[in-house]
Structures are given as C-alpha cells and as structure tokens.
Amino acid sequence: MRGPPTPPEVRALAAALSESLLFPSAVAVDRADAVPVSHLDALAEAGLYGLAGPPERGGLGLPESDALAVIELLASGCLTTTFVWLQHHASVRAVAAAGGALQSEWLEPLCTGQRRAGIAFAGLRRPGPPVLSAERGRGGWVLRGFAPWVTGWDLVDVMLVGARVPSLPGTPVLWVLVDAAERDGLSVERLHLAAVNASVTVTASFDGVHVAEGRVVGVEEFGAWRRRDAGGLRTNGSLALGLAARCAHLLGGAEAEAIRLGLSDRRRALDSADADGLPAARAAAAELALEAATSLVITTGGSAVLLDSVAQMLARQAIFLLVFGQTRAIRDAQLAGRRPGPRPGSR
C-alpha cells in the first residue's frame, strides 16, 4: 500500500490546483458572497487539509519549508480560498499536541478535511483588558465577550477559541474547540471587507456559551503564547509572496524578473529571521506584494479599474495583506521610511 505523497508531489499537486482551479475562478470568487464549498472540497480531496498533521492520522507531515511553499502556491491562485483554508491548520496542530480523547476524536477528521476549522483568537493581541474571558462552569467552561475576527463562517464546523482566564494567576489562555454555529449565547455579525470578502469573516459574540471539558485543548501561560505568536509570523508571509508571484507571472519581462529577485530576497529574509526580526521581514514581504500589484495596475492601464480585472483584485488584496495579522512591531516596520518629506526632484 502506497504511503502519503512525497513533498515534491504535494507541491506539484498544489501548483496544479492553483493553475487549473483557483486562479481561473479567482475574480469570480472575489465577487462572490462566499468561497465555493467545491473549492474547499478539492483541497480536502488533495489531502491539503492535513498539511500540518501526522501521516498516521491522515496528515501529510510536510517539512515546514514544503508547507510554506504550498501556502505560497495556493495563494498565487486564489488568496480568498487560501485565506479560509489556512485558518484550519492551527486547530490541527493544537489537537495533535493535546493528545488524549480530544485527539482521538478530532485529529483524523481534521487532517482529512471531513471537519473544517476556523480560529478565534485575534483578540488576544489587543492591548488592555481581555475581550474574551472564560470562567469555570458546570462540567466545563463559560465564555463571555467577543472574538473580533473569525474567518470562514458557514464554511467551517468548529473554531479554535483562545480566551483569557481572569480567575487563574497570570490570566492564562484557555484553548477550546467551539462549534461554529449561532445559538443561544453565540451570535455573529458579518464584516464587509474590501478584499477577500468571500472569506465570510465575522465578529462573534459570546454571552455565556458553555464549553464541555472534553472540548478543552489546553491552558497556556499568556507570556508563552505571546512568544509563540511572535515566532509564528512566518506563515502569513507566504500569502504575500504568493500574491507577488502571481503579479510577476502576469507582468512578464523585466518587471517580472525584478519581482522574482525580490521574492527570493524576501523569502530568504523570512526563513532566516528570528522572532525579533520577523516583523520587519513580514513588512517587507507585504510591501513587495503591494509594489508588484501596483506595477500590474499601471501596466494594465485603464481596464485595471474594471471589476472583472485581475489587476484591481490583486491590488486590493495586497492592501489587505498590509494589515492582516498586523502587530505593532509589523506596523512600525511598515511605517519606517514612509514618513512625510520632500518628493524626489522637489525644491
């Protein structure tokens, strides 16, 4: 019986899906109300929901460099679809690390894409009091507050939620799997985005949502999470690299060659950066995507402002990537060198 596909085979499969399925429909998806479930089904059938999972549980067990390459390839096809799919892997990693009954029940269905997951922990990055808190309840925990960004609503089955626990020393983070469905105590409000709107991103409000003990993934010291979060910025950089690569492919010529050189440089910087250097490397990757999309708009000309133009879609998506997953350190790096001043040639 043949084992899981090799890393080169997975990369080739991702490239084929990007060119044959994702990119040809990217503009239509951009203008749709939601990512087609058939797109996500195709990624599941290709085994790509198991990118971060162990082979013995239906995952691919890819080395990090190959996993990042797959993300980049898919993002070059359709950023919106990739954005929804990418959220899933945090749950795979968390459940794999949790072990026990939770792993037994959830890991294989997550790896195969039979069950699909989103994330709800962007609020942990906000300064000030926790926006989502957990307290002990009968047979589990009770969640109160809100999660500002939850992507893939109605496209995912569960969400990995991170809530602070004020009753415990240091207010640690409680990680739980919560069913992604509105009910008493759980409501959502859709956010209308200028780009990747078909990702169906919402703000989720929790008013006494009960989570059974069996859905607890773990409890993590808040400082440990912040360090882990800071070191995990690399993954999102692949989205910007993928978008820039698509622009290079569409441009061709000297413009494309300059972007490809930039891609090699930005990829190398992301791969070699430590936690302190990642914000600047992420900022540089997003800047390259914006520069590449701007070049495509200029080269395309007036038709670039039509809604069926790939150029305007990529330009809007490049702006989105400037702020997606933005931390204060990334913002500071982005603003460096952009201070107001005289224009070249001015007097």
Cα–Cα distance for residue pair 160/111, rounded to 1 Å: 15
Q: Which pLDDT score is estimated for 223?
A: 94
Q: How many helices, marked H, and strands, marked E, lie in the chain?
A: 12, 8
* Fold exhibited by the domain 118-220: Butyryl-CoA Dehydrogenase, subunit A; domain 2 (2.40.110)
Cα–Cα distance for residue pair 342/347, rounded to 1 Å: 8
CA distances from 17 to 39, 75, 260, 331, 339 (A): 10, 11, 21, 33, 41
According to DSSP, the residues that pair with 179 across neighbouring strands are 158
Q: Where are the alpha helices (DSSP H) in 273-309?
A: 278-300
Cα–Cα distance for residue pair 77/98, rounded to 1 Å: 33
The DSSP code sequence of 52-117 is TS-GGGT-----HHHHHHHHHHHHHH-HHHHHHHHHHHHHHHHHHHH-HHHHHHHHHHHHHTSS-E
Which mean pLDDT values do the consecutive 10-residue runs of the chain (347 residues) have? 84 98 98 98 97 92 95 98 97 95 96 97 93 95 98 98 96 98 97 98 98 96 92 91 98 94 97 93 96 97 96 98 91 81 46
Same CATH topology for 7-115 and 118-220: the answer is no
* Fold exhibited by the domain 7-115: Butyryl-Coa Dehydrogenase, subunit A; domain 1 (1.10.540)
Q: Which pLDDT score is estimated for 74?
A: 98
* 3 state SS of 228: helix
Cα–Cα distance for residue pair 104/29, rounded to 1 Å: 35
Q: Taking the domains of the chain in order of start, what are their residue ranges?
A: 7-115, 118-220, 232-335
Q: Which pLDDT score is estimated for 326?
A: 87
Q: Which pLDDT score is estimated for 337?
A: 63
